[in-house]
Amino acid sequence: MSEVILSKDNFEEEVLKCDKKVLVDFWAKWCGPCQMLGPVISQIAEEREDIKVGKVNVDDNEELSRMYGVMSIPMLAVFSNGEVIKTSVGYKSYEDILEMLEV
């Protein structure tokens, strides 16, 4: 499964009402660490059928960024039952992200 491009228009349906855990990557095109993290996020999206993976471009979605307190990027947030259960800021390894998802 590939990543879902998220915006305020589909966030509620794709993330908050999802019956799986959702990993959301808050990123921007100009962010170097975000570009490094991108392939790792894509790999997880392809490998894990039990979770949904979404990406929020912070430049295009300032409202969502404010709503979830995004101050630095990349920021990863794990959602379960519509609630943020874990966040991390900065580049994370594949293993670190899998560990975040085990919450």
What would the two tokens of residue 38 be?
């991108």
Query: Which residues are marked as active site?
Result: 31, 34
Gap between the Cα atoms of 80 and 59, Å rounded: 25
SS3 label, residue 44? helix
Q: 57: closest CA among 84, 26, 15?
A: 26
Q: Which amino acid is at 16?
A: L
Decide the pairing of beta strands 4-5 and 51-57: parallel
